[in-house]
Amino acid sequence: MSEASVEPRTEIPPPRRCQECRDIKRKRAQALADGDRPAAARMTEAMGVHIWEAHA
């Protein structure tokens, strides 16, 4: 088998979540674990608003 030239990876890894993203995600996960669907829904909405305001 011959060695084919391989181009270096040019993919940029996705940015890490900001602290507020991590906090919202953690709160949503906890709400789901607690069976608190209304709180989980609020966190989903909060994440959408946060992404729109902070990352768009």
Amino acid (1-letter code) at residue 2: S
pLDDT tens column, 44-54 = 999 999 999 99
Separation CA 24–CA 45 (nearest Å): 10
SS3 11: coil
Q: Is 9 left (phi over 0), alpha (psi -120 to 50) or beta?
A: beta
What is residue 4's predicted lDDT score, i.e. its pLDDT?
Answer: 64
- Measure the CA angle with vertex 19, ends 13 and 21; round to 5°: 75
pLDDT tens, position by position, 13-44: 777 779 999 999 999 999 999 999 999 999 99
C-alpha distances in angstroms, 19 versus 6, 7, 24, 25, 43? 37, 35, 9, 10, 15
